[in-house]
Structure 1
Amino acid sequence: MDSDLSPQGGIWWPEREDLSLEFMRLLASVQEGGATFSECWLTASRIDFAGDDGDDSWHREWIGAAEVNRERASSAAAQGHLATARSNWLRAINYYLTAAYPFDLSPDKRRSATASMRECAAKYLNCREPVGEVVSIPWLNEFTLQGYYLPARRGGDRAPVVICIGEPGHHKEEFLFKLAHHASERGMALLAVDVLGDGTGQSFEEVSLRHKPQRAIAPIMDYLVGRDDVDERRIAILADGWSSSFVARGIAFDHRFAAAVCDGGIWDLHIGSFLNPQDRPFGIESCPELEADRILRSIRCPLLIAASERGGLRADRVAELTDQLRAGRRDRDITLEIFESAETAAGQGLFDNPTLANECILDWIASRIAAQPL
């Protein structure tokens, strides 16, 4: 296998930029307990991109790594070594996620890897302390959302909660190693959820043709408000990823949130500025830039915009759009945090150093919803 270093310091297989970036995400997850460095390198060394079966080779090797960790976890659990079982379940989850990554992978192989990943997630929740839950959240008649609820360690009182939700196409299982311990250490429960459904009905791709993902936000909040262990006045939401503003659109007119970490709608505002020429022949109601501006100005809760210097938008553009959001509303609690290359966490979606980003983000959330560290 030929590899090299990219100019940004990433491992680079020239013929597979997509998988090179996925491998870097995997390496970055080591510090969060989502992988081990040696396993990653050993598995990568076995992948053969020569010929026409590069994706299959990638899938096969990461499935093998996942199975080893899955078996190790089962053995440890059977012997009562729950800490070892938990750490191996988390690594198995991440390796299955990586195995399912190639875009051209056959649907059957992707479904099988995803099913195995979810099985490992359920077993991890079952041996966690306190025990977590696999939950179903009604959304559409034909499409139910699946989530993982991890209670706060401190029992008795209703707890503050952070909802962690990824962009469409991202799996909630990643939050189990990426964000769960950060929330737990700060006295917060966590609900990890995605918009991919429970796997028993229609696919997200089919549903998204007729329904907008931002409409899933209200039912998620409804679910939490209905729990007797949740403090409904202290629910925050964290949008992971920066390829759309669907979370910002979802919370714009739902004022039950105590805090939010998302792009605040500035991605929509940025796109709208290019799609709305000055001589647009339509009425003001059809102006996408003004619609985006209306949405982001409707967000009432404290807002953190966490961006990266090398993300999809230049840092100066993010700052410019954030200033537009603040204009005329000096009373609003809007924080902009741009992670620079000098300190890492500067890649798209902050993927290159999730620890640095998550510490900052969860500290901000805890300060806004008055969560108490353990």
Structure 2
Amino acid sequence: MTAFEVARRLVDEDAPQDENVLAKKIEASIQTFGCLEQKVEPVRIACSDQTPLLAYYVPVADHDVRGPAVICISREGETASTLLGRLLPAVISRGISVLVVSHEDVLSHWRGQSEILLSSCLDYLSVRPDVDHARIGLYGEGLSAALATDFAVSDRRVAAASCDGGLWNWTRTVASLGWITRTVDRLDETFLSSPRSRLIRQLRCPVLVLAGGRSIVSTTEAIKLQAECIAAHIDIEVATPRIARTTAGEIENFVTSDDSVFAWLQHKLTLNSAS
């Protein structure tokens, strides 16, 4: 799976046909994946519009014990199977179940009402006998990191979230304000700091913000947000991926990044159980 993901990232952006072939190979591997104790389950999430959402579910190895689970949302333009193929090595031995959905399905299924659809996913996990309903986390990539923030704010059942911390919406607001007033370069940092941390103050769960690399979040702004949140006693951490420079350009080390994200989720969801 890791080799497929490396190949997919090395494919020329102008060769979508080659990338589609790799995506199909990943999906075929997912369909046949299995080990002695765990298997991938294609599932359908019931929705109010009676059109089920297709997703992938990977249960914990011990079905007799209620364990933590994480809803994972792919980045834009990426299928659920492609994301799952990449994440399997990071989650398979952590005692965490994962439910993987695609960005496009979350956005289009409910005509923009993504929070309702994600709530249906959380409902699905909450009634599973192998999931502890008090230990359900959330992980979003790319623009889905912004969706994850909005959902974590709207649904207090989320126990931990790897998201954008509200920075995407804040960046768009600042850009719009600068365009309207033509004063973006002269906006005072004190003026900007309050709205930057406003959304994350509504969260009631620990937050991990991925910054830099393929993330939509600027490392500089993430560090500023972290400083503001620490001062306000908000549980937030910032992680940045390792970048390797090759003859093909800069490549994000997604293996170490995924490991660190799910190690953080595992830690926070375990603490939630202990409390």
Q: Which bracket does the TM-score occupy, shorter chain normalised?
A: 0.7 to 0.9
Deviation of the 1:216 alpha carbon: 2.0
For 2:253, which of 350, 353, 357 is the aligned residue? 353
1:130 aligns with 2:30: no
CA distance in 2, matches of 1:369, 1:236: 7
CA distance in 2, matches of 1:230, 1:244: 23
Secondary structure at the residue paired with 2:4?
coil
Go from structure 1 to structure 2 and tell me whether the alpha carbon gap of 1:266 and 1:241 turns closer, same or farther (over 3 Å shift). Answer: same
Go from structure 1 to structure 2 and tell me whether the alpha carbon gap of 1:241 and 1:204 turns closer, same or farther (over 3 Å shift). Answer: closer
Q: For residues 316-327 of structure 1, what are the structure 2 equivalents within 5 Å?
A: 316-324=220-228, 326=229
Go from structure 1 to structure 2 and tell me whether the alpha carbon gap of 1:137 and 1:294 turns closer, same or farther (over 3 Å shift). Answer: farther
Say what the alpha-carbon RMSD is for the aligned residues: 3.9
Go from structure 1 to structure 2 and tell me whether the alpha carbon gap of 1:229 and 1:314 turns closer, same or farther (over 3 Å shift). Answer: closer
1:333 aligns with 2:238: no
CA distance in 2, matches of 1:62, 1:298: 39
| 2:39–2:58 Cα contact (<8 Å) kept | yes
Go from structure 1 to structure 2 and tell me whether the alpha carbon gap of 1:36 and 1:359 turns closer, same or farther (over 3 Å shift). Answer: closer
| 1:258–1:302 Cα contact (<8 Å) kept | yes
Unaligned stretches of 5+ in structure 1? 1-28, 67-93, 99-116, 198-202, 280-288
Instruction: Name the amino acid aligned to 1:269.
Output: W
Residue 223 of structure 1 corresponds to: 124
1:177 aligns with 2:85: yes
Deviation of the 1:35 alpha carbon: 5.9
Go from structure 1 to structure 2 and tell me whether the alpha carbon gap of 1:170 and 1:291 turns closer, same or farther (over 3 Å shift). Answer: farther
Secondary structure at the residue paired with 1:221?
helix
Deviation of the 1:36 alpha carbon: 8.1
Residue 101 of structure 2 corresponds to: 193
Deviation of the 1:342 alpha carbon: 6.8
Deviation of the 1:214 alpha carbon: 3.3
Unaligned stretches of 5+ in structure 2? 182-192
Go from structure 1 to structure 2 and tell me whether the alpha carbon gap of 1:33 and 1:246 turns closer, same or farther (over 3 Å shift). Answer: same
By relative contact order (CA 8 Å, sep 6+), the higher-ranking structure is: 2
Q: For residues 124-273 of structure 1, what are the structure 2 equivalents within 5 Å?
A: 124-125=32-33, 129-141=37-49, 143-197=51-105, 207=109, 210-242=111-143, 245-273=146-174
Go from structure 1 to structure 2 and tell me whether the alpha carbon gap of 1:296 and 1:157 turns closer, same or farther (over 3 Å shift). Answer: same
Deviation of the 1:139 alpha carbon: 2.9
Instruction: Name the amino acid aligned to 1:365.
Output: L
CA distance in 2, matches of 1:261, 1:218: 17
Identity of aligned residues (%): 23
Secondary structure at the residue paired with 1:34?
helix
Go from structure 1 to structure 2 and tell me whether the alpha carbon gap of 1:364 and 1:327 turns closer, same or farther (over 3 Å shift). Answer: closer
Go from structure 1 to structure 2 and tell me whether the alpha carbon gap of 1:196 and 1:129 turns closer, same or farther (over 3 Å shift). Answer: farther
For 2:176, which of 275, 278, 283 is the aligned residue? 275
| 2:164–2:217 Cα contact (<8 Å) kept | no
CA distance in 2, matches of 1:35, 1:319: 29
Specify the structure having the higher radius of gyration (Cα). Answer: 1
Secondary structure at the residue paired with 1:218?
helix
Residue 304 of structure 1 corresponds to: 208
For 2:24, which of 76, 91, 96 is the aligned residue? 96
Secondary structure at the residue paired with 1:237?
strand
Secondary structure at the residue paired with 1:135?
strand
Go from structure 1 to structure 2 and tell me whether the alpha carbon gap of 1:128 and 1:62 turns closer, same or farther (over 3 Å shift). Answer: farther
Instruction: Name the amino acid aligned to 1:154.
Output: D
Residue 34 of structure 1 corresponds to: 4
Deviation of the 1:357 alpha carbon: 0.3
CA distance in 1, matches of 2:31, 2:222: 41
CA distance in 2, matches of 1:193, 1:309: 22
Q: CA-to-partner distance for each residue in 1:48-92, whole Å, 9 max, x for gaps? A: x9xxxx86xx62x667xx5xxxxxxxxxxxxxxxxxxxxxxxxxx
Deviation of the 1:213 alpha carbon: 2.4
| 2:73–2:144 Cα contact (<8 Å) kept | no
Q: CA-to-partner distance for each residue in 1:275-297, whole Å, 9 max, x for gaps? A: 23697xxxxxxxxx988854322
CA distance in 1, matches of 2:89, 2:266: 13
Secondary structure at the residue paired with 1:185?
coil
1:364 aligns with 2:264: yes
CA distance in 2, matches of 1:158, 1:243: 27
CA distance in 2, matches of 1:316, 1:370: 30
Instruction: Name the amino acid aligned to 1:132.
Output: V
Go from structure 1 to structure 2 and tell me whether the alpha carbon gap of 1:196 and 1:270 turns closer, same or farther (over 3 Å shift). Answer: closer
Deviation of the 1:160 alpha carbon: 1.3
CA distance in 2, matches of 1:36, 1:293: 35
